[in-house]
Amino acid sequence: MTDNRQRVDKATFKQIFYENWETFQQCYPCYQQRDVQAVITQLLGCGDLASGYITYLCEHCLEEKGVALSCKSSFCLSCFKVYIDHWVAHISQMLYEGVAYRHVVLTVPETLGLCFHRDRHLLGDLMQCGVAMLSDALAWVKKRPIEATAGR
């Protein structure tokens, strides 16, 4: 089976933002926030000498070479892998060895999703409700007799 999906390189990804970011922000004003703009500015400057670089000097020929700095953002295609590796290392330090973990995704209907999109502070309330729901569900499972849960 072949994978027919086309990979998008970093230059193409950045070009899409250069050409469309202002129009996108006009259509979706919630993305005009300072922290969002900072992430996009970082992305656009990643790997660009004008955004910062380190100069290396060859000891033999004394030639100088400028190496552009990366943005280290989770939103950047080239920096994403490093970001994820650091995140996984951090999370793995918090997990207990020998314990099976499960990933839980909380979803909401699309109409409610728009409410969360408009007011990001509601996400904290959603997470608290999700934790309470999971706690209740796990407490219910613990109360069930062992025979009822065996073989499942």
* Domain chopping of the chain, boundaries: 1-80, 101-152
Helix (H, G, I), strand (E, B) or coil at 29: helix
pTM above 0.85, yes or no: no
Does residue 148 surpass a pLDDT of 60? no
Give pLDDT, residue 66.
92
In sequence order, which residues have a C-beta less than 8 Å from that of residue 128 and are 6 or more positions away? none
Confidence of residue 29 (pLDDT cuts 50, 70, 90): confident
Does residue 149 surpass a pLDDT of 60? no
Q: How far apart are CA 18 and CA 44, in angstroms?
A: 8
The predicted model gives 80-99 an average pLDDT of: 81
The predicted model gives 21-34 an average pLDDT of: 89
The predicted model gives 75-104 an average pLDDT of: 80
Give pLDDT, residue 71.
86
